[in-house]
Amino acid sequence: MESMRFKLKIWRQKDRNSPGKMVDYEVSGISPDNSFLEMLDILNFNLIKRGEEPVAFDSDCREGICGTCGLYINGRAHGPGKGMTTCQLHMRMFKNGQTIYVEPWRAKPFPVIKDLVVDRSAFDRIMAAGGYISVDTIGNPPDADTILIPKQDADRAFDAATCIGCGACVATCKNASATLFVAAKVSHLALLPQGRLEAKRRVKNMLLQMEREGFGSCSNIGACQVECPKEISLENIARMNRELLKAILSPHSDD
């Protein structure tokens, strides 16, 4: 099997308060079928063998589900692949001998913790502001499928629910806006009857929290949709804006 080698320029930063810099590395013996994270594992294995500090990066599921692995690779969120996370990217997508730049998400509300690891707890606080439904589970709660939902709504809600909270939309946006993320979460619940009860409060509170966290506003560039590994559509932003209008114009009506 072909063995590949790469020159890497990786962002190294001791902690949140220290300045960081790009550091050069070389890695060889890489299979085209290695994932990007496996390539970094091999680099780290070599660094540890040499007594050097391994490169810190985040990962968990390594199959495109958890959203922890986001890296900025050669100037693109999650690298050159379309509709995939960094952990789903394979080295066959690069040229043998290529120089690869690896950086963390760059956005003020995502401060660097170490090297390539950023603090995305701002997303957790946005979710806590309204990304849930309140259900009384005491006694004999109804089955979840008691309420029939039109197939088209269920499909749209499901599409929105595929957002994994990775933050690529923020990292790629020149305004560092989290609008696509918030729109996906608002849409997911707004499209389902179980989410309607708190819909007006939800959209206002989540957008307010987004602003408080320091994310920028949306200026309709659309880079977020292009770089989103789950291909969350801008339609969700339009839906969220309609939800916000309803909440502002008729705050006391049922819907």
Is 60 a binding residue for ligand FES by CB under 6 A? The answer is: yes
Decide: 94 and 166 in contact? Cβ < 8 Å.
Answer: no
Residue span 12-51 as binding mask against ligand SF4, x where in contact by CB under 6 A, dash where not: ----------------------------------------
* Number of residues counted as binding ligand FES (CB under 6 A): 13
Measured in residues, the chain has a length of 255
* Number of residues counted as binding ligand SF4 (CB under 6 A): 14
Q: How far apart are CB 148 and ligand FES at their closest, in Å?
A: 33
Per CB under 6 A, which of residues 221..240 are in contact with ligand SF4? 228-230, 232
DSSP of 6-74? EEEEEEE-SSTTS--EEEEEEEEEE-TTSBHHHHHHHHHHHHHHTTPPPPP---SSSSSSS-----EET
Is 85 a binding residue for ligand FES by CB under 6 A? The answer is: yes
Query: How far are the Cα atoms of 34, 41, 206 from residue 5, in angstroms, in the given order?
Result: 12, 14, 45
Is 59 a binding residue for ligand FES by CB under 6 A? The answer is: yes
Decide: 92 and 32 in contact? Cβ < 8 Å.
Answer: yes
Task: Tell me the window of 24-32, 127-135, 158-166, 246-254 that interacts with ligand SF4 (CB under 6 A).
Answer: 158-166
- Residues at the interface with ligand SF4 (CB under 6 A): 163-169, 180-181, 184, 228-230, 232
